Amino acid sequence: MKTEDLIASLASEPAPPPAAPLGRRALAGLGAGLAVTLALFALLLGPREALGTALAQPLTLAKTLLPLALAALATALALRAVRPGARMGAAGRIVWLVPGAALALFVLAFTTTAPGARLALFLGHSIPICLPAIVILSLPITAALIAALRRGAPEHPARAGALAGLAAAGLAASVYSTFCTEDSPLFYSTWYSTGILLAAGLAALIGARALRW
């Protein structure tokens, strides 16, 4: 076959469909991972009794909404982290409001709780469940999100992985909060944050390898 004929033949073939935008792939990964997480949650834990009544209390609602806010902001930052040269922008500043709010709630609870009750509320009764549950529930979301982010080109793979882990752990903590009956910020501001940081650290290790060019 002549070169001209080959070119004409290739040109006549339909072009392959374009790859889905990275943001769409990331959202699809979040959705798929969250579906697995919800299935695990339903199988292993399940929501607490009278959940609606509990969520009517602002301090209880905060332990669900704050991790959700973290997940949304961390997802945006993870998408930027896999684009070379992209700046973190406003999301990189706003994300600090989440731990700031958690700290403010901790201080509020500390100052309004009787001194003799503070330690009991701080330690609670479910640390051995809370920490592993947040990490385990985050794993399907972390895996799906990092798989989607492999289409990017991060300059710092570990940081991109950590941000993906923050997003995943935020969603996992929010899901877990509907099971948890520890409603004092003395507990959840401390131990949810610890679980989220553990999950983010694990995701950083995964991202350092999986997101490397």
| Per-residue pLDDT at 26 | 84
Instruction: Report pLDDT for 83.
Output: 84
Amino acid making up residue 96: W
> Please, how many CA atoms are within 13 Å of residue 29, restricted to the half-sphere of its CB?
28
Boundaries of every domain in the chain? 22-210
Does pTM surpass 0.85? yes
Q: In whole angstroms, what separates CA 91 from the centre of its chain? A: 15
Q: Residue 19 has what pLDDT?
A: 44
Nearest-CA neighbor of 71 among 172, 147, 160? 172
| Averaged pLDDT in 10-residue chunks for the chain of 213 residues | 50 46 83 95 95 94 96 92 81 92 97 96 96 97 92 85 96 97 97 97 93 81
Q: Is 208 exposed, middle or buried (0-12, 13-18, 19+ CB in 10 A)?
A: middle
- Predicted local distance difference test score (pLDDT) of residue 201: 96
**pLDDT at residue 5, rounded to an integer:** 56
Residue type, 68: L
* Cβ atoms of 96 and 70 closer than 8 Å: no
Backbone angles phi, psi at 82, to 5 degrees: -100, 10
The pLDDT of residue 9 is 52
pLDDT for the residue 213: 74
Query: Is residue 158 within 8 Å of residue 212, measured between CB atoms?
Result: no
